[in-house]
Amino acid sequence: MSIKILQITAAYKPAYIYGGPTMSVSKLCEALVEAGIDTEVLTTTANGKTELAVEPNKTTQIDGVEVTYYQRLTKDHTHFSPALFSGLRKKIKISSKLQLVVHIHAWWNLVSIFSCAIAKWCNVPVVLSPRGMLTNYTAGNRNSGFKSMIHQLMGKSLLKYCHIHVTSEKEQQDVLDFIQPKSITIIPNLVNFPFVQQNNQKVAPAKSAVFKLIFLSRIEEKKGLELLFDALALVEFDWELTIAGSGEEVYVKSLRLKTESLNIAKRIKWIGQVNNEDKFQLIAKHDLLALTSHNENFANVIIESLSVGTPVLLSDQVGLFDYVQQKDLGWVTQLTIEDIQKKLALAYQQEETRLKIKAMAPQIILADFNSGTLINRYIKLYLNLTNARL
């Protein structure tokens, strides 16, 4: 009997405004199709507060993957889409002769929660990739009242039905501190490395006395930019910081005001969201990528940065911190201004270490995050769930 995977996600590319999760889900789906696995995506037209310019309720091919974008009724984080729920029920019904798995990405939105309920009702196994959503930090941060209500009403029982997929050991521990799922499996994200694979000529930062840092991610509170700013205001070397990403206008404005109060505004360049094709060259032109997040399940940007040889500074609350430590690919900091300042100074002073990372990191990353190896682990997870039902 053939296997079919229905991938459920509130947003899918080209909704790059949502950052890493959009890239991770699409890369997984494309790799599954390339491996010969029947894969279909059900998503919404979400693109932040606007909608994607796509024809809703019609299946289309996006880089080889069958994708159906359904209209949503709410434009906020809930992404309520009755059309998607109806579509999911129909897909499950017509796939009754297949070994079916529903793979849901992220939590705390109505697409994920009601899709999980439908799959449970139809007795279809569910893989849930929480994408950093099942942590005590996330549950208590932003819309905590809504999350608590959803969790008590139906979320808790639905999560017990799910087989959880996490992307790092840290995320696994975060999830286990929050719930006890049916099972839990660690498989890293699949990450695109087009720059490394297609370009033999290496890009390096221009020779300069100024230490060039970059932050490339969605701009939101959990990213810890306030702490990074406070630490940078205290360092004793010349630096400049590029901030590439988008966020809520009010929050971004508050960050700009903070840089002015710290008298560091002139050292910071806000360049907005960067498209996927340009970001690798942009990262490669910097000396260090910084990510001092309060909570991060994986952080694709760490792997993307190392894939072009740019060392990283990350907090010990980022899922990949232990990997970076084990491979000596950067500097790990605690979430205090003092320790961030100290690790920034070390990264600046240890030029030989940075040069060593630049030379070695790309090949290490390509070996450790080989898409062919990782996709086989995802397929094995799906097969184990379908075989358990036979």
Q: Considering its fold, how many domains does the chain have in total?
A: 2
Distance from C-alpha of 356 to C-alpha of 367, rounded to nearest angstrom: 17
47 and 159, same domain (yes or no): yes
Do 36 and 133 contact (CB within 8 A), yes or no?
no
Tens-digit pLDDT profile for residues 320-339? 999 999 999 999 999 999 99
266 and 342, same domain (yes or no): yes
Which pLDDT band holds residue 350 (cuts at 50, 70, 90)? very high
Q: What pLDDT, on a 0 to 100 scale, did the predictor assign at position 2?
A: 85
Distance from C-alpha of 225 to C-alpha of 123, rounded to nearest angstrom: 44
17 and 69, same domain (yes or no): yes
202 and 307, same domain (yes or no): yes
Q: How many residues does the chain have?
A: 390
84 and 218, same domain (yes or no): no
Interval 306-330 mean pLDDT:
97
- Residues 97, 105, 246, CA angle at the centre, nearest 5°? 145
170 and 251, same domain (yes or no): no
Pairing of β 126-129 and β 99-105? parallel
> pTM here?
0.90
Q: What pLDDT, on a 0 to 100 scale, did the predictor assign at position 366?
A: 93
Whether residue 364 is predicted with pLDDT greater than 70 in this model: the reply is yes
159 and 220, same domain (yes or no): no
- Show the domain range for 199: 194-368
- CATH code of the domain containing 241: 3.40.50.2000
26 and 8, same domain (yes or no): yes
Q: What pLDDT, on a 0 to 100 scale, did the predictor assign at position 200?
A: 45
Whether residue 355 is predicted with pLDDT greater than 80 in this model: the reply is yes
- 125 token code pair: 């196994």
31 and 64, same domain (yes or no): yes
Tens-digit pLDDT profile for residues 218-229? 999 999 999 999
152 and 260, same domain (yes or no): no
Q: What pLDDT, on a 0 to 100 scale, did the predictor assign at position 209?
A: 83
Q: What pLDDT, on a 0 to 100 scale, did the predictor assign at position 19?
A: 79
Do 166 and 297 contact (CB within 8 A), yes or no?
yes
Maximum average pLDDT range among 90-99, 137-146, 170-179, 251-260: 251-260
240 and 330, same domain (yes or no): yes
Which pLDDT band holds residue 195 (cuts at 50, 70, 90)? low
Whether residue 90 is predicted with pLDDT greater than 80 in this model: the reply is yes
Which pLDDT band holds residue 345 (cuts at 50, 70, 90)? very high
